[in-house]
């Protein structure tokens, strides 16, 4: 029997030769258990999906443009923050959200066109690889 220190000093080739030289019996069903364990580990591991950042970036840009447009629309950049009548306040909120929605819809449309335009160069690049 060799000591651990002696085994640790052996090269890979020496370890392989020692393993091949010994008569080792493999337990029955070990291969099936290993395959099942690997398959179970793969089944538990979540599959990574590619992140499509273009729509998210387009929404962020559209929201920024909408905020700038709303501030500019008010003239001096001062926002109104008080209303005496809650119905007027609600109507103002609805109008503001409608403007944001319209601006974002325009931004999403522009982003969709940009994505279609970007697909053609990507196809060309992928064909070159």
Q: Max Cα separation, the chain?
A: 93
* 45: region left, alpha or beta (phi > 0 left; psi from -120 to 50 alpha): beta
Take residue 64 and report the two structure tokens written for it. Answer: 């920024």
Can you list the residues of the chain whose pLDDT is less than 70? 1-2, 22-24, 45-55, 71-81, 129
Contact 69, 103 (CB under 8 A): yes
Residue 49 is predicted with a pLDDT of: 63
pLDDT in tens, 95-112: 889 998 888 888 888 888
Contact 65, 111 (CB under 8 A): no
Contact 104, 66 (CB under 8 A): yes
Q: What is the DSSP letter of 79?
A: P
Take residue 43 and report the two structure tokens written for it. Answer: 């089944």
Residue 108 is predicted with a pLDDT of: 84
21: closest CA among 29, 10, 9, 8?
A: 10
Provide the residue ranges of all domains of the chain, joining segments of one domain with +. 4-44, 54-128
The pTM of the full predicted model, rounded to 2 decimals, is 0.32
pLDDT in tens, 55-73: 677 777 777 777 777 766 6
Residue 107 is predicted with a pLDDT of: 85
């Amino acid at each position: 029997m060799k000591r651990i220190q002696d085994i640790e000093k052996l090269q890979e080739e020496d370890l392989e030769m020692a393993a091949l030289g010994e008569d080792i019996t493999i337990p029955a069903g070990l291969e099936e258990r290993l395959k099942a364990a690997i398959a179970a580990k793969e089944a538990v591991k979540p599959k990574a999906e590619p992140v499509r950042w273009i729509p998210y970036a387009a929404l962020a840009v559209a929201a920024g443009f909408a905020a700038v447009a709303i501030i500019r629309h008010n003239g001096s950049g001062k926002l109104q923050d008080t209303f005496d009548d809650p119905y007027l306040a609600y109507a103002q909120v609805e109008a503001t959200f409608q403007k944001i929605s319209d601006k974002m819809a325009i931004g999403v449309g522009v982003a969709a066109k940009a994505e279609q335009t970007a697909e053609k160069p990507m196809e060309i690049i992928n064909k070159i690889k």
